[in-house]
Amino acid sequence: MTALAAQARTPSGPSARPVSWRKLAWVTWRRQRAITAAALAVMAGAALILVLSGLAMHHTAARLGPGWWMQTRSTGYYSWAENLPLLLQAIPILVGAFVGAPLVAREAESGTFRFAWTQGPGRLRLLTSQLVPVAVILTAAAAGLGALIAWWLGPLTTGESPMSRWSVSRVDLFAPSLAGWLLVSLTLGVLCGAAVRRTVAAMGATMAGYVVLAYLTATRWRSNYLTPLTGPAAWSGNGTYGGHVIALGAADELTTYYAWPDGRRLTIQQLNHGTAWFNQHHIALMAVYQPGSRFWPLQWIEFGWLAALSLLLVGATLLIIRRRAA
Amino acid sequence: MLEACNLGRRYRRTWALRECSLTVPAGHVVALVGPNGAGKTTLLHLAVGLTAATKGTIRVLDGLQPGCADALAGIGFVAQDAPLYRHLSVTDTLHLARNLNRSWDAQAATSRIASLGLPPGKKVGALSGGQQAQLALTIALAKRPQLLILDEPLARLDPLARHEFMSLLMAAVAEDGLSVIFSSHVVAELERVADYLVVLNGGRLQVAGEVDDLLAGHRVLTGPADLATAAKAQLNPVRTSVAGAQAHLLCRTSGPGDPVPLDFIAQPVSLEELVLAYLRDPSVAALPGPEMAVPA
Amino acid sequence: MTIDKQSKQGGAPPIVFRLDAASGVPTYLQLVQQVEQALRLGYLSQGDQLPTVKDVVAALAINPNTVLKAYRELEHRGLAVGRPGQGTFIEGTLRHVGIAEQNSLRKALVAWLQSADSAGLDEDGIVAIFHSALRDFREHRVTGRPAGRNRGAETGTGQVA
């Protein structure tokens, strides 16, 4: 109608600029603060336990000197150290399932995306503005927690302790690794949420995917980050070989074998000979191992590929959301 | 305001909308009607960029791609059932919407909330259906859009809530010169509010035009049944209802000057009657331009 | 005619509109008739302001164009005038038909009634014919004007052949 069209309003206020990141930051704060705070609280709780028990443990270790753990086995530090990492392993999984999966899935399930995606920023900027701050905060917290764990494990894994920082239950708790696993879990959760669109199902898919990824890493991939070295080893009393700490994955990757001086392996029959025969032929014990000096480079390699995978997962999520029909 | 050209949208194997070519002018209150499943929600979702077209094109406002930043800023949308975050309070929801939009009339929003009597601290989930719809409408209006798109806004509202919703909407149209497109599967009471009508039936466009023109362009001819049957071929009615002795033919007419056949009397037709007649027969259409489809 | 946004001058307008949805009379015409009725009964007089478009629309939940159409019709009938930025005001009065003219019209009507009666038409039939003729007459008068079809910049899509 002409009269009304003639009244067509000039838009008031700033209309040409896109919605500012500051405004979006408030939105993220309001929407994600509860669950992010919950995740941080869990990590803070774990940190508190680590600090309290760690201080006591360091004190005891300092007081008793080397081999302290043999004397204090009964006080439970050792069994603590065996069990606590398993609980800490749960943190990345929980974050992925409870923070990551609902990010998109809850909006899809409740229909609120029909509101959120038709406001100013559009769906891609909205997702990015929600995900990035949460990811940064939680990954940084995980790094901090990992550093704390490294400190905590210190007295337990030095010297001739049979507890190794390379063991499967512990190696991914150090800062680079833990941060990487949390990041990948979070982004995997977001992807599952975007693909599955049902919160509970997405949580399940996230956890399943994480477990598969972690299993493959532990059994196959981790020992191949850098080609292991091969070298002569010697039995010493507590299971370390020639002063090196050998990389552990699943037990059978700890490879040791007897070899001729020229390097050939002994056959099964030849292994049945006695010690005299071994000494006569200068048979040596060889080991395939990762030297201790590679511990931190390997950690950073793990973080590196996990971070790269996280980026891919985010990219896939953005692609799915971009093409999603309502 | 909205230009669709051979627009189609398919979900797996079903076409929710097909061959829809439509030009909706600005400055109107457009009613989009049709039975459930006719494609109304699909068309609206295409217009706001929630869905992408499988075929054809659609442009909104002044030739913008739906879902682009300018289109998102210029269109206020309220989806079916007015989805909002249930755990946020009314105030928080307004604050959230403010931070999600380029331009925002905070004062108008708060004064509307106050005049509607919505308690600012109450959680959205605790509001009634009518209150949620009012809140969603307030948010859509507060971003100062040029076009407002509402998907079945009255569906869950009781008569009083409906009246209040419509009066809020019409006041905004009067004040701001806003264009509105709203869908409804209830046809009664449209005549008071809409001045442009679009009818979708089975995913296809059936009627499109200004309400005044559509009403002026149709009439009911009432006359003897036998003459009516004979005159059918020549009159090409949209709908015929025949009894033993009397028949009504809903026909198109070129205007008040159009001669009435002998023994017939002509009466005007209401919008509801018109829409129902077209909905009953998907093969007829009343579309502008040369695309008029008439039954064989 | 512009839509007035300012609050009413000098207090509330004298009349308020109501809508009879089931009456079959077009909405804009109901508004026109209510203004004329108010004039006849003395509720409205020269210089009074009619309710603003926004207020009518908010109270009745009708399309603003309908109110604009009604106010335009009142202008055409010489009963009101729109002042830009201020509102619509009553100007002029209902045409007074003189007593003599009224009498001769009445006589003609009575004569017609008698011929209708002798043709066998009963009261309801008379009323039906009267309403139908009145409707045609009114439509002819309204749509015959260019104002009714004036869409300005927008072309009238939906022009049905």
Residue B272 has pLDDT above 90, yes or no: no
Residue C76 has pLDDT above 60, yes or no: yes
Please state, rounded to an integer, the average pLDDT across all residues of chain A. 81
Q: What are phi and psi of A232, to 5 degrees?
A: -65, 145
Beta bridge partners, B266, equal: B221
| Number of cross-chain residue pairs from A and B with Cβ atoms under 8 Å apart | 118
Share of chain A above pLDDT 70, in %: 83
Cross-chain residue pair C158–B216, CB shorter than 8 Å: no
C11: pLDDT confidence band, cut at 50, 70 and 90? low
CA-based nearest distance B233→chain A, Å: 37
Mutate to test the interface with C, among B116, B187, B210 (most CBs of C within 10 A): B210
Q: In chain B, which residue's Cα lies nearest the Cα of C155?
A: B25
Cross-chain residue pair B189–C151, CB shorter than 8 Å: no
Q: What are phi and psi of C28, to 5 degrees?
A: -60, -35
Contacts of C3 in chain A (CB under 8 A): 3-4, 7
Contacts of C151 in chain B (CB under 8 A): 210
- Counting beta carbons within 10 angstroms of the beta carbon of residue C113, is it exposed (0 to 12), middle (13 to 18) or buried (19 or more)? middle
Cross-chain residue pair B194–C63, CB shorter than 8 Å: yes
Reduced to 3 states (helix: H, G, I; strand: E, B; else coil), residue B180 is: strand
Going by their DSSP bridges, the two strands B75-78 and A284-289 should be labelled as unpaired
C8: pLDDT confidence band, cut at 50, 70 and 90? very low
Chains linked to C by 3 or more Cβ pairs within 8 Å: A, B
C42: pLDDT confidence band, cut at 50, 70 and 90? confident
Beta bridge partners, A229, equal: A289
Amino acid at B135: L
Rounded Cα distance, B124 and B89, in Å: 6
Cross-chain residue pair C151–B210, CB shorter than 8 Å: yes
Contacts of A24 in chain B (CB under 8 A): 99-100
Domain range summary for chain A, segments of one domain joined by +? 24-66+83-226+295-323, 229-294
Nearest to B92 among A12, A17, A30 (CB): A30
Going by C-alpha positions, the residue among B38, B20, B81 that lies closest to residue B202 is: B38
Mean pLDDT of C83-88: 85
Q: Are B28 and B20 in contact (CB under 8 A)?
A: no
Mutate to test the interface with A, among C54, C62, C65 (most CBs of A within 10 A): C65
What pLDDT is stored for residue A252 in this prediction?
30
What pLDDT is stored for residue B229 in this prediction?
77
Mean pLDDT of A6-34: 71
Q: Give pLDDT tens digits for B53-110.
A: 888 999 999 889 998 889 999 999 999 989 999 999 999 999 999 999 988 999 989 9
What pLDDT is stored for residue A224 in this prediction?
80
Residue C87 has pLDDT above 80, yes or no: yes
Which is higher by pLDDT, B196 or A295? B196
What pLDDT is stored for residue C136 in this prediction?
82
A73: pLDDT confidence band, cut at 50, 70 and 90? low
Q: Give pLDDT tens digits for A239-280.
A: 444 444 443 332 233 577 787 878 788 878 777 777 777 778
- Counting beta carbons within 10 angstroms of the beta carbon of residue C121, is it exposed (0 to 12), middle (13 to 18) or buried (19 or more)? middle
Q: Give pLDDT tens digits for A202-230.
A: 999 999 999 999 999 888 888 788 777 77
